[in-house]
Structure 1
Amino acid sequence: MDAVRAPAVAGLFYPREPHLLAREVRDFLDVAASDPLTPGFPKIVVVPHAGYIYSGPVAAPAYDLLRPALGIVRRVVLLGPCHRVPVRGMALPGAGAFDTPLGRIAVDRAAVGKLRADPNVADMREAHDFEHALEVQLPFLQTVLGDFSLVPLVVGAIPAQAVARVLDLLWGGDETLIVISSDLSHYLPYEDARSMDGATARAIVGFDPHINHEQACGATPLSGALLAARQRGFGARLLDLRNSGDTAGGSSRVVGYGSFAFGTTAAQYGADHGRRLVALAREAVCGTRGTDRMAQDETWLREMRASFVSVKVDGALRGCVGTLEPHRPLREDVLANARAAASLDTRFAPISEREFDRMELEVSLLSRPSRIAFEEHNELISQLAPGEDGLILQYGEGPAARRGTFLPQVWESLPDPEHFIAELKRKAGIAPETRTTACSIKRYRVLKWRESELKGQA
């Protein structure tokens, strides 16, 4: 188990240089971001495995949904088909780690030890050495999850029920994610591929475990995952469905790609979540403890989320501090932003203890920002949703970059999109004549809870 599996397709399927690879993955994720602003993340994702130029845009929406799981998911069970070497059963790598240009991922020794008791599972290093189906998923996983251990299995000739039993063995809790790597149809004309892939996608979200290898090269691990998910009453979502003719290739012979997510039926953020967040904010400002201790083990508060906290006294704003992009668990983010809003917003005097009884707090929860793709200014304007979109406008890169944001609430005073963009440029310190096409613009949505309104809903 001391051997390290080296990258086989770096420089072919994805960039070999770490900085180029990291940027490419981030770009895919930024464009794909479609945060529904619901708590939780998938237990199972199905993603394609071609070169990134072909399937990266289709895989990205599934990985984007996993970004809140950073620090929660600690183990990834990764299954994919064999393309190079025939395999009977399921093959372990006979290695203690996998390397990628972004770093080393340890193989989960305890899980591998459990699997060796299964007669359908064996070490087969040659099945992994040049297999791309698992490898191309690793940089995406490293980007969204950070540090995790890996259980990599190349799946060959084996009944889907046996795959499902292996998944049951490794199921775990929130700390375990299951990733199924599979493309869809291969080398059909564009319209024929669209027809077949559409039928396959309907079968997948319908939990039909009888998908064949003409429909999906990873039909066996996919069918096993569908059995395991159906048994648990999961819901299924089709995230994206395209083929190489849509992304980077011709239309005469295409390969189909789909991304899917499976998990418990998504809950919605509601008044109870808002009460918990506002209570955390008040405890942070007032220095009391209660909800803070109770909330530490709740999964939704451990998810990576961004928030803003506003403080008013007698109806007048006295502080507003927040984060635009998630970089810490939601609980920690609200606590830190509440303390900063009450004492570190340099526009106002710090909140004093005698003002606590006249203080009102508002907590805003932000979706993950997604980059708006546009080639002309008018195209940008046509995509904006006044009253709903918060915008982040950035000009330049690195420390010299200029950046500003307007929350969706700003549309109330700046309802015209042209004026909104012009004022956002001014706020960011960007010259008015700077073309918007030279800027990066991201959008986000907001859920907000105000203390007085929550009391009225009690």
Structure 2
Amino acid sequence: MPVPRPTAVAGLFYPADPTELRRELRHYLANAAPVPHLGAIKALVVPHAGYIYSAAVAAAAYSALAPQAARIRRVILLGPTHRVPVHGMAVPATDTFLSPLGPIPLDQAARQAIADLPGVVVDDQPHAREHALEVQLPFLQTVLGSFELLPLAVGHCPPETVAAVLERLWDGDDTLIVVSSDLSHYLPYPQARRQDEATSRQVLALDAALEHDQACGATPLNGLLLQARRHGLVPRLLDLRNSGDTAGSREEVVGYAAFAFTPETTP
């Protein structure tokens, strides 16, 4: 039997103690930036830094999702690789990811459904120490309760390769796509604000030509933007801030944004 993937950054990026973690998550969700009622959310873009820096922004997306939680049974979670290089997209061989809030089963049928696509490899190593996907799990567990997960660690590949995977897994309203990405990195506060605002406009225009200095998850995000255009999704900016707004100095900041993609043009 495959060994479950244990937590790698619990106690570093977010609390390892379940009681403390639940308390923090309730606080972030209760105090999230207010958003109007949205139609059926198909996809989210959320940041992935330590909770002290980015969780307040991520919470804007997850709180918007909460009213629709009952319909979601599967989450396709994509993010960049920070520690292990990957040519293509790595799906794990294990069948369970662990979090302080409990185990999350992986969707075996979804993994099998994309096994023949170009760029898809089965490899636990890119997932072993990767934080970009892990930090989303407690939020998803809190908002959705039970669900099946397909995590994809996205490395070097064309956005069309990502889009093909998303197309194969698109399905109906019970499937949610989440792309984990921060925006600019280590720029002075005013410059970061300008660059992140420009990046946000590009996302809102469904312009799938983001560079990695704009978003560390540019490859999975560009793949989502291609699919959003093809499926007629409308992106909405829910929150846009940086670490200078949430915690830390303003000399060098990291940008964070939360987006939701829905089929409707109006709520």
Is the shorter-chain TM-score for this pair beyond 0.5, marking a shared fold?
yes
Corresponding residue for 1:188?
187
Corresponding residue for 1:124?
123
1:368-387 equivalences under 5 Å are: none
| Secondary structure of the corresponding residue to residue 265 of structure 1 | coil
| Structure 1 residue 2 displacement after superposition | 2.3
Residue deviations 1:251-273 (CA, integer Å, cap 9, x gap): 111100001010111555xxxxx
Residues 41 and 65, structure 1, Cα contact 8 Å, conserved in 2 = no
Whole-Å separation in 2 of the counterparts to 1:36 and 1:192? 29
Matched, 1:19 2:4: no
| Secondary structure of the corresponding residue to residue 71 of structure 1 | helix
| Secondary structure of the corresponding residue to residue 36 of structure 1 | coil
Corresponding residue for 1:245?
244
Corresponding residue for 1:139?
138
Corresponding residue for 2:202?
203
Whole-Å separation in 2 of the counterparts to 1:35 and 1:213? 28
| Secondary structure of the corresponding residue to residue 46 of structure 1 | strand
Corresponding residue for 1:212?
211
Residue deviations 1:384-421 (CA, integer Å, cap 9, x gap): xxxxxxxxxxxxxxxxxxxxxxxxxxxxxxxxxxxxxx
Identical-pair percentage: 57
Residues 3 and 94, structure 1, Cα contact 8 Å, conserved in 2 = no
Corresponding residue for 2:235?
236
1:66-85 equivalences under 5 Å are: 66-85=65-84
Whole-Å separation in 2 of the counterparts to 1:143 and 1:179? 15
Corresponding residue for 2:28?
28
Matched, 1:4 2:36: no
Corresponding residue for 1:175?
174
Residue deviations 1:106-162 (CA, integer Å, cap 9, x gap): 000000011211131011111000000000000000011000000000000100011
Whole-Å separation in 2 of the counterparts to 1:132 and 1:201? 23
Corresponding residue for 1:99?
98
| Secondary structure of the corresponding residue to residue 220 of structure 2 | helix
Q: TM-score, normalised by structure 1?
A: 0.57
1:416-455 equivalences under 5 Å are: none
Whole-Å separation in 1 of the counterparts to 2:205 and 2:37? 25
Whole-Å separation in 1 of the counterparts to 2:130 and 2:6? 11
Whole-Å separation in 1 of the counterparts to 2:265 and 2:191? 34
Whole-Å separation in 1 of the counterparts to 2:63 and 2:231? 24
Whole-Å separation in 2 of the counterparts to 1:262 and 1:94? 30
Residues 160 and 221, structure 1, Cα contact 8 Å, conserved in 2 = yes
Q: Structure 1 residues 82 and 231, CA, compared in 2 at 3 Å: closer, same or farther?
A: same
Whole-Å separation in 2 of the counterparts to 1:46 and 1:163? 15
Give the residue type in structure 1 aligned to 2:224: A
Residues 79 and 220, structure 2, Cα contact 8 Å, conserved in 1 = yes
1:14-413 equivalences under 5 Å are: 14-32=14-32, 34=34, 36-37=36-37, 40-265=39-264, 268=267
| Structure 1 residue 34 displacement after superposition | 2.5
Corresponding residue for 1:343?
none
Give the residue type in structure 2 aligned to 1:171: W
Residues 188 and 250, structure 2, Cα contact 8 Å, conserved in 1 = yes
Whole-Å separation in 1 of the counterparts to 2:218 and 2:33? 27
Residues 37 and 64, structure 2, Cα contact 8 Å, conserved in 1 = no
Whole-Å separation in 1 of the counterparts to 2:266 and 2:255? 31
| Structure 1 residue 70 displacement after superposition | 2.3
Structure number with bigger Rg: 1
Would you say how many aligned residue pairs link Structure 1 and Structure 2?
A: 267
Q: Which has the higher contact order (CA 8 A, sep 6+)?
A: 2
| Secondary structure of the corresponding residue to residue 27 of structure 1 | helix
Q: Which aligned segments of 4 or more residues in structure 1 are displaced greater than 2 angstroms?
A: 33-38
Q: TM-score, normalised by structure 2?
A: 0.97
| Secondary structure of the corresponding residue to residue 65 of structure 1 | helix
Q: Structure 1 residues 19 and 41, CA, compared in 2 at 3 Å: closer, same or farther?
A: farther
| Structure 1 residue 71 displacement after superposition | 2.4
Whole-Å separation in 2 of the counterparts to 1:154 and 1:110? 18
Whole-Å separation in 2 of the counterparts to 1:242 and 1:252? 15
Whole-Å separation in 2 of the counterparts to 1:33 and 1:73? 23
Whole-Å separation in 1 of the counterparts to 2:172 and 2:7? 30
Whole-Å separation in 2 of the counterparts to 1:35 and 1:253? 29
| Structure 1 residue 41 displacement after superposition | 3.3
RMSD: 1.2
Whole-Å separation in 2 of the counterparts to 1:173 and 1:246? 37
Residues 48 and 182, structure 1, Cα contact 8 Å, conserved in 2 = yes
